[in-house]
Structure 1
Amino acid sequence: KKDMDISGIIGITIPEGVNLVAPGNQLTIPVQSQRKVLLEEYAFDVQEEQSLKSFGEWLSENIFCNADQFWKEKIKTDIVVLANDEFKDFVNLSTEVITRTKIDNDTGTVANGQLFTEEYLPAESVLYSLVLAAPEFTSNKDRIDENEVISFVQGQLPEIIQAGANATLGKGLLKTKLITNQKA
């Protein structure tokens, strides 16, 4: 929420400890007098929050390309924001964990003591980071302004990057997109 406020995306109301869904979503089911959403095998109590509809529309316009028309439409209403504690548990229990062994190239058998574990984010994960820019800090009158700094960063950022290990397995491939000038 603080990052969104800094970047000027939109104002989202997120009460502490409450799970939220956008109005008009197709995710909730009625259970007695409460609305619930099922994620994996877990049922979460949820409340509708109007500002999530605006957030879903923002995500639709800024995250998905036109080739992903199904997801562009779905995210507009079918978005869930989990409270921190429930999100933490959900991630800890839903992250892909693979135990592997390192093979000794000479013997073709497991290298001594080389059992290791890897964790992967779901392939559909959306990651973000803020890139903040300010004018170059110099007394030189030809200093570079913040727009030129952002243009430089954008020019250096490839469309696809690989982060982490296992590039040969196709892991860690990320599509990048720099969304600029959200807040003046």
Structure 2
Amino acid sequence: MNCRRTVGFLLMIGLALCGCSGIQSPSNAAWIAQPEFVEVDNHLLTARITPQKGEYPYYAFFLLTLTNKSSADLIVDWNASRYLFNGRPQGVLVFEGIDPAAVKNARVPSETVAPGAVFTLEIMPMRLIAWSPIKENTAGDRSISAGMLPVGENGIHLAVRHENGHITIPLSVRIFREGSP
């Protein structure tokens, strides 16, 4: 019986020490993105992603800015665009107001960007989000909640169609916590 108490006591001390060990949680770390944004600029378009924290202490989504420099429409193909983690595709991208059924069936409507127009949208990896239950959906409430972009190379593989074909644009930044390599 005394052995059980001793083991229990030692276990409690060990847990207390682990709790005070300084292991960083997302909320007590300084999150850094390098570079602060990444941009591709060519004769058709300028595409930029900027990692954003929003209301979170960590990076949770990207602000995509797409400027159409051509004389024809550009079409963003969300069904072919992907989240990139450490250079590898890791699933689709989502945004506020997206229909979960459209995502599931790969039928997310494309976005048309007219000549000379600037398109901006907050996008996030679907694999890192939480959907709000239908019963909680009310006007003004968010239907998705962004998750934490992990330490490493994070970005997007943007698929864009134009009158002469299509292009894919990889854009990535490195996210890390202060003090980590």
Q: Which has the higher contact order (CA 8 A, sep 6+)?
A: 2
Query: Taking structure 2 as the reference length, what is the TM-score of the superposition?
Result: 0.22
Query: Taking structure 1 as the reference length, what is the TM-score of the superposition?
Result: 0.22
- Greater strand fraction, Structure 1 or Structure 2: 2
- Greater helix fraction, Structure 1 or Structure 2: 1
